[in-house]
Amino acid sequence: MIFKVLTLFPEVILSATNYSILKRAQQKGLIKIEAINIREFTLDKHKRADDYPYGGGYGMVMTAQPIIDAYESIKPGRTHRVIYLTPQGKRYNQQYAEQLSKEEEIVIICGHYEGIDQRVIDMIVTDEVSIGDYVLSGGEYAALVLIDSISRLVKGVIEEKSTQEESFSTGLLEYPQYTRPFEFRGKKVPEILLCGDHEKIRKWRRYQSLLKTIKNRPDLLENFELTDEDREFLIK
Ligand code: ADE
């Protein structure tokens, strides 16, 4: 998987992805992250990459020329997605991450100020994506969210089993986890996790997942098919 990030702040992307799992994934050659500085492509003599909006209004808009030239310079492969990060985009979620993890190459455009010239979107963008209903100061933080969530789904980056039971992949939030010590400041680990009976533990975890989802994200249950076992838990 290759990520090519078009940004005014390449260091934000390169430094934040140089740790832990993403660092190891790059060292192993499982993912590649390139950051291309849009400003290096501007033909403006003052190196400006933004200008006032036509029609007036607050703020500045990133100009089309340096973004399109930066895009053309990276010579993207034949099959690739071009994602523009914007609060006006389609809402990102785990399913979207899974879909994107099947791509070979993803180009990400990070906006700043009041966004980018619409003609860039019309000419090269395949997906306008928002990571949530709030406004960030720049697309770099959203790009990092995409890179991290997609990379961990790339084969070999983390143990496959750990993505199978986690939140959203089952349709429910994940059950609570505990580790040693058994007792911490008077609070003990639930006894059932020490009983050694895997079926009992599985049932307890499923019940806890249901409870957590009802408490924190009842909206997830609207499109969720409860199993007979789930219904039994909930009636009790
Ligand atoms: N840029 C600014 N806010 C954003 C958001 N919520 N999602 C994606 N990109 C953004």
CA–CA dist 230, 33 (Å, integer): 42
High-pLDDT (> 70) share of the chain, %: 100
Question: What average pLDDT score do residues 135-157 get?
Answer: 97
Tell which atom from ligand 1 comes closest to the C-alpha of 134.
6
Which of the residue ranges 60-69, 124-133, 158-167, 184-193 would you say has the lowest mean pLDDT?
A: 158-167
Averaged pLDDT of the chain: 96
Question: What average pLDDT score do residues 109-120 get?
Answer: 95
CA–CA dist 122, 82 (Å, integer): 11
pLDDT at 167 (0 to 100): 82
- Using a 10 angstrom Cβ sphere, with 0-12 exposed, 13-18 middle and 19 or more buried, the burial of residue 39 is middle
pLDDT at 162 (0 to 100): 80
Fold of 167-235: Trp Operon Repressor; Chain A (1.10.1270)
Q: Using the mean position of ligand 1's atoms as its centre, give its distance from the Cα of residue 142 in Å.
A: 6
CA–CA dist 53, 58 (Å, integer): 8
Ligand 1 pocket: which of 8, 86, 146 to mutate (most atoms <8 Å of CB)? 86
Fold of 2-151: Alpha/beta knot (3.40.1280)
pLDDT at 7 (0 to 100): 98
CA–CA dist 2, 168 (Å, integer): 25
Contact predicate 131/92, CB 8 Å: yes
What are the boundaries of each domain within the chain? Answer: 2-151, 167-235
* Model confidence pLDDT, tens digit, residues 38-68: 999 999 999 999 999 999 999 999 999 999 9
pTM for the full model? 0.95
Q: Using the mean position of ligand 1's atoms as its centre, give its distance from the Cα of residue 25 in Å.
A: 26
